[in-house]
Amino acid sequence: MADKVIALACAAGMSTSLLVTKMQQAAQEAGKNYEIYAKSVAEIDNMLSGSEKPDVLLLGPQVAYMKNEVIKKAAAVGVPCDVIKMQDYGMMNGKNVVAAADALMNG
């Protein structure tokens, strides 16, 4: 079982799935036992209301316009949330995105 769960939400989940793979590699190399997955923004309510809520929710840059609404929903259930930096997303920099998730989870 994973120590922490990182969820990514994007428009459809396609390009983000590659970033998930890069993040999993970066977490593994850093000795972290994280479950990392991506879903479409249409599933955010289900992700946040389920019994297996993520420890952090990251939004893809393409859905950054939803940030304020999603942050409110996530905060209501104690899940930190932010938008992935465009540069890290574009470069598929899994290490930086895992570091950003760590920073959010650790307050």
Q: List the catalytic residues.
A: 10
Here the tokens at position 4 are 């922490």
- Which residue is it, tokens 């470069």? 91
CB 104 within 8 Å of CB 91: no
Q: Is the dihedral of CA 48, 51, 55, 59 positive or negative?
A: negative
